[in-house]
């Protein structure tokens, strides 16, 4: 029997993993575990990059994107969710109840309604206050690099929770969710809900999820590239290094840009890496739950 474990981006996810791990170790499926972890983050107002605590676009409206995946032939995603607090669960409905992989905008909300998902106000009062404060300032739209100080708030700008689980049956699953870039142009969609960009799972090769500036990740199909490289023999750390190197070679890397990945093989060998300092990830297994610095930081 496989020893189950959970991986997730950012230190705010550590208590979430700790609360869910007993279910995973008791036989819960990897898919159920990652959905539960991400739902927990989506409803936590103290997390300013996901769900109810997320920051709105420049018009003051919150929109959510999310994805779940268990294999190249089994994924679901939504983007532009405006009326439901748990886009990760809508994404799972897309995967399990339709022949599609992505639903967008108002019609994705309607789809959730048709499956009796409760609608909700998704803009927290604290997030609205931050938007009002931003309006009174210069309306600077330059992105800020997320920096993990260990208390849940990464920005002023944006980021993603990405969670990967390996269950006792040896099955991998991944999920990610985000409120996107703070003060973004309305309609902007990043990497999170796109297969192979923010998340990729292949039972034969491994799983990876990315976080940070989504446009950079999308430019190289980041999560897919990490998993593909592992399938060709690279270790998780080597695969992350090569993917970050590809990003650096393709983009003019400004000081405010940050990208990070976590990845695992099907056997449970894992690693994390980032362009810059300021990224942390959480891991939980039978020995306990810890917050880890990435094994690789590319740039000073």
Q: What is the pLDDT of residue 154?
A: 45
Active site residue 160: yes
Mean pLDDT of all residues in 146-171 = 73
94-116 tens-digit pLDDT: 999 999 999 999 999 999 999 99
- Given a cut of 60, is residue 167 above it in pLDDT? yes
- Given a cut of 50, is residue 146 above it in pLDDT? yes
- Spell out the domains of the chain, with CATH numbers in brackets: 5-297 (3.60.20.30)
- Given a cut of 80, is residue 138 above it in pLDDT? no
- Given a cut of 80, is residue 21 above it in pLDDT? yes
Q: Which residues pair with 201 in a beta bridge?
A: 207
141 confidence band (pLDDT: 50, 70, 90): low
Q: What is the pLDDT of residue 33?
A: 99
Q: What is the pLDDT of residue 126?
A: 87
pTM over 0.85: yes
- Given a cut of 90, is residue 131 above it in pLDDT? no
220-239 tens-digit pLDDT: 999 999 999 999 999 999 99
What is the SS3 assignment for 103-137? EEHHHHHHHHHHCCCCCCCCCCHHHHHHHHHHHHC
**How many other C-beta atoms are found inside a 10 Å radius of the C-beta of residue 167?**
23
Long-range contacts, 128-132 (Cβ 8 Å, 24+): 128/56, 128/60, 130/48, 130/55, 130/156, 130/182, 131/55, 131/56, 131/60, 131/183
- Given a cut of 50, is residue 156 above it in pLDDT? no
Alpha carbon 238 to chain centroid, angstroms: 21
70-81 tens-digit pLDDT: 999 999 999 999
- Given a cut of 70, is residue 149 above it in pLDDT? no
Q: Which of the following is catalytic: 160, 163, 243, 265? A: 160
Output the average pLDDT for the chain: 92
129 confidence band (pLDDT: 50, 70, 90): confident
């Amino acid at each position: 029997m496989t020893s189950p474990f959970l991986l997730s981006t950012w230190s705010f996810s550590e208590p979430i993993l700790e609360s869910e791990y007993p279910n995973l170790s008791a036989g819960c499926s990897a898919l159920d575990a990652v959905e539960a972890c991400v739902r927990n983050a989506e409803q936590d107002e103290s997390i300013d990059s996901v769900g109810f605590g997320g920051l709105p676009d420049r018009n003051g409206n919150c929109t959510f994107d999310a994805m779940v995946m268990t294999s190249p032939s089994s994924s679901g995603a939504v983007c532009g969710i405006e009326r439901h607090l748990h886009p990760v669960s809508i994404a799972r409905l897309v995967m399990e109840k339709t022949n599609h992989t992505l639903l967008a905008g108002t019609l994705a909300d309607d789809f959730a309604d048709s499956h009796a998902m409760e609608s909700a106000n998704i803009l927290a009062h604290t997030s609205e206050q931050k938007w009002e404060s931003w309006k009174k300032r210069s309306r600077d739209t330059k992105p800020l690099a997320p920096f993990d100080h260990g208390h849940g708030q990464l920005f002023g700008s944006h980021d993603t929770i990405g969670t990967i689980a390996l269950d006792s049956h040896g099955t991998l699953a991944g999920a990610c969710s985000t409120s996107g870039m703070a003060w973004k142009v309305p309609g902007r969609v990043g990497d999170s809900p796109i297969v192979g960009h923010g998340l990729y799972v292949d039972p034969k090769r491994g799983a990876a999820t990315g976080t940070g500036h989504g446009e950079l990740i999308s430019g190289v199909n980041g999560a897919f590239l990490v998993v593909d490289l592992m399938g060709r023999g690279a270790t998780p750390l080597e695969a992350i290094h090569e993917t970050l190197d590809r990003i650096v070679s393709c983009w003019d890397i400004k000081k405010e840009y940050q990208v990070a990945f976590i990845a695992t093989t099907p056997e449970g060998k894992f690693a994390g890496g980032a362009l810059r300092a300021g990224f942390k990830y959480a891991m939980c297994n039978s020995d306990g739950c810890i917050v880890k610095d990435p094994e690789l930081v590319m740039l000073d």
